[in-house]
Amino acid sequence: MAAYARVVRRSAAITAVVGAVMIGICAALGGAKGVYGALVGVGVVTVFFGISVIAVGKAAKISPQVMMATAMGTYVAKIIAFGIVLVLLDKSTAFNGKMLGVTALVCILVWCGAQVVNTVKLKVLYVDPDGGQQ
């Protein structure tokens, strides 16, 4: 569980930096509406991944099988929910929708990539060297 927390913290930190950079880029390219779009994109990604972190963290306390089922379930639910959010926000003129989409996509890819890289770098045993004997 501590290794999972470390991966989440590192991934969140990297994604936060990239999110801030994306807000700056969107401000330069799209002005105020670009900033608002980028902020909405960062917010949506933060909420969606936050929900996954909480759900998978709680499921990990039960069993690895429940954790995997929860991870897959929240993944599918996030994709559906993100599609619904995009459809609902499609006609909004308060922000730049393209900046929202690009920012969200970049943050999602950075989060996923950071999780993969940080997980691969962990020194965690995949098998029990004692064979489970006490």
Per-residue pLDDT tens for 20-57?
A: 999 999 999 999 999 999 999 999 999 988 888 889 88
The total of structural domains in the chain comes to 1
| 126 is a domain residue | no
What is the chain's mean pLDDT, rounded? 87
Flag whether 72 is in a domain. Answer: yes
Residue 62 has pLDDT above 60, yes or no: yes
Q: Answer whether residue 2 shows pLDDT above 90.
A: no
Closest CA to 44 of 114, 102, 118, 119: 102
21 in a structural domain: yes
| Residue 15 pLDDT exceeds 70 | yes
Tell me the two tokens of residue 123.
């020194």
Residue partners of 12: CB distance under 8 A and separation at least 6:
49, 111
Q: Is the pLDDT of residue 87 over 80?
A: yes
Tell me which residue range forms the domain holding 13.
2-118
Assess if residue 129 is contained within a domain: no
Contact 95, 106 (CB under 8 A): no
Residue 104 lies in a domain: yes
The verdict on residue 130 lying in a domain is: no
Q: Is residue 114 part of a domain?
A: yes
Q: What is the pTM of this model?
A: 0.81
Q: Measured between alpha carbons, how far is residue 19 from residues 12, 78, 81, 90 in Å? A: 10, 19, 20, 21
